[in-house]
Amino acid sequence: MRNLIAFIRKYSFFFLFLAVEVLAFYLLFSKNHFQRSSFLNSTNEVTGGFYTKYSNFNDYVHLAEVNEALSEENKRLRGRQIQSFERLFGENVYVLDTIFRRKYLYTKAKVVNNSISHQNNHLTLNVGIKNGIERGMGVIGPNGVVGVIKNVSDHYASVVSVLHREAKISVKLKTSQYFGSMQWNGVNYRNTQLIDIPNHVELLKGDTVVTSGYSSIFPEGLSTAVIQSFEVREGENFYDIEMKLLSDFKQLSYVYIVKNNTSTELQELEENREGQND
Amino acid sequence: MIKKIFSYPIQFVLFVLIQGLVLNNIQLGGTANPYVYILFILWLPIETNKALVMGIAFLLGLSIDVFTDTVGMHASASVFLAFVRPFVLRTLAPRDGYEVNIPPTASGLGWFWFLRYAAIGIFFHHFFLFFVEVFRFSEFFDTMGRILTSTAFSLVLIALAQIFNFNVEEKR
């Protein structure tokens, strides 16, 4: 016993190191729990406030690019307006009836903090619970998917970016409708990877990849990336596809948060189905 | 002396703010990130209680983590640096030991000593940090490359910070 105490005393510094390191790793691995409490992350009011001030300052510098992106988006949306379509056949009447209902609602938000250089990147937005933002909502930018809301505080929300090694987004090929997952390999922030596309599918460089709409987080058909190169490794059944992201994450300043009005209904249905299979 | 003790909390806050708001946004080639905040740990007086350094390092790392949404990552790396610091100091000690009250800075122990001390410290910290970040050894050389470029980048910025501080100390 005395030897044991002597041993611990002799190496007390090392044991202290181990204890603190264990605490740090405990925080690291249980971070979802801790972050849900929204204290030790950038959605808290102190750092969130700093980030807002900082990004207000930064905005002036990037006004030109933001205007550019917004007018580009306006152009695209204008092209989709009913006024820009011509009636093809004589007497068709456009009837607004109850066939349509609103499925997605959008909230605009400003990016107050953004990172692209880590393996797991996050963004912070200047909207929170008070703006009706909830965990799990999708975030899109002028040029496609940006990420998914992870934590929300009263006035801020943090987003798991597409540039996060564990973020998987369900996407499909615009032309052939084959679906796969978009997942980042952590190398280049302009590129991302498409997995789970079987090797019999015909691909072309420059094919557009759009959101599949299966996850019910993002609306279907949102252009997100284009195929840059692809190959099949020997003995594999799936392509390795390199895609170029349409949005430049370094320039993101305004984004939209997508609320799906039917998501709870859909989730309940899918959970029920899983229950019955057992 | 009292003035000195009071200046440490101010330094702490300054390092956290500079790292969190400015340096986290700087990347070279999209991969190399400078982490200058560890200079706070490197600059602590040599005689500081080792356990105290470790506690400070933990708090410092945690403060940085709050900015980057990575609770525990910078904390663990900073604690590792606090752990190796006594060994590095011992290895680099002059033949007859450190004089009392000499700060571990370039003005106290010379540029050659300081650059070696900083480079070794930064490397240990970055090594730990980047491997905790990727949390796999499968892309060892990729990660190693990022560690080395970031170490070089941080070292340059830390040397610059030391030059500024040098001038301040001279004027006193």
Predicted confidence band of residue B164 (pLDDT cuts 50, 70, 90)? confident
Lowest mean pLDDT of A71-80, A178-187, A256-265, B78-87, name the range: A71-80
Domains A45-79+95-165+255-261 and A168-248 share a fold: yes
Q: Mean pLDDT for chain A? A: 81
B60 lies within 8 A of chain A by CB:
no
Interchain pair A42, B67: CB under 8 A: yes
> What is the average pLDDT across B124-147?
86
Interface confidence (ipTM) of the complex: 0.81
pLDDT for res B100: 80
**A96 pLDDT above the threshold of 90:** no
Residues of B in contact with A29 (CB under 8 A): 72
pLDDT for res A275: 58
Lowest mean pLDDT of A34-48, A199-213, A220-234, A264-278, name the range: A34-48
Where exactly are the structural domains of chain A?
A: 2-36, 45-79+95-165+255-261, 168-248
> What is the average pLDDT across B106-135?
89
- Number of Cβ within a 10 Å radius of residue B87: 11
**A87 pLDDT above the threshold of 60:** no
Lowest mean pLDDT of A200-204, B68-72, B80-84, name the range: B68-72
Does the domain made of A168-248 have the CATH classification 2.40.10.350?
Answer: yes
Residues of B in contact with A13 (CB under 8 A): 50-51, 83, 86
In CATH, the number for domain A45-79+95-165+255-261 is 2.40.10.340
Q: Which two tokens stand for residue B35?
A: 């982490």
Enumerate domains of chain B plus CATH numbers: 2-171 (1.10.1760)
Three-state secondary structure readout of chain A: CHHHHHHHHHCHHHHHHHHHHHHHHHHHHCHHHHHHCCCCCCCCHHHHHHHHHHHHHHHHHHHHHHHHHHHHHHHHHHHHCHHHCCCCCCCCCCCCCCCCCCCEEEEEEEEEEECCCCCEEEEEECCCHHHCCCCCCEEEECCEEEEEEEEECCCCEEEEEEEECCCEEEEEECCCCCEEEEECCCCCCCEEEEECCECCCCCCCCCEEEECCCCCCCCCCCEEEEEEEEECCCCCCECEEEEEECCCCCCCCEEEEEEECCHHHHHHHHHHHHHHHC
